[in-house]
């Protein structure tokens, strides 16, 4: 007889992630769309049944907070009007982390014709 035991994620396997979005002048970017996709965890066996993506918006202060997610690699994408879209993977191993993201203004359009 095979006995399968589900092990809960330990507090040590989780992190509280905050994302602070600013513009090129260090001013907060409110109401930006923040997409966080969980890519790879510290313990892959425990990661099979967790939520793998979150979508939220920044506050007036440019902050987006995701409470208690697994530690590991996460892809963060930021979409905001009048700014270039941002996307980067981060390795989150701390119990609490704030990631600072600076958005750039849109690039001028270029035409080869």
Q: Summarize pLDDT for 2-42 with one digit per residue, the tens.
A: 444 444 444 468 889 999 999 999 999 999 999 998 877 65
Q: Where are the domains of the chain?
A: 14-102
Alpha-carbon dihedral 35, 81, 101, 14, rounded to 10 degrees: -20
Q: Which residues does residue 33 pair with via DSSP β-bridges, in sequence order?
A: 57, 79
Distance CA 27, CA 34 (A): 17
Give the pair of three-digit tokens for residue 105.
């203004």
Model pTM greater than 0.85?
no
For residues 107 and 97, the model is more confident at 97
For residues 10 and 77, the model is more confident at 77
What is the CATH superfamily name and number for domain 14-102? Immunoglobulins (2.60.40.10)
Q: Beta strand pairing status for 33-41 and 72-79? A: antiparallel
């Amino acid at each position: 007889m095979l006995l399968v035991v589900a092990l809960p994620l330990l507090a040590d396997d989780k992190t509280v992630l905050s994302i602070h979005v600013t513009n090129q002048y260090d001013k907060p970017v409110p109401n930006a769309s923040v997409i966080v996709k969980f890519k790879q965890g510290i313990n892959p066996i425990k990661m099979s049944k967790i939520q793998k993506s979150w979508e939220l918006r920044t506050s007036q202060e440019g902050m987006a907070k995701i409470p208690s997610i697994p530690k590991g690699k996460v892809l963060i994408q930021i979409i905001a009007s009048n700014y270039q879209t941002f996307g980067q993977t981060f390795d989150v191993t701390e119990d609490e982390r704030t990631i600072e993201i600076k958005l750039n203004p849109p690039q001028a359009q270029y035409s080869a014709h």
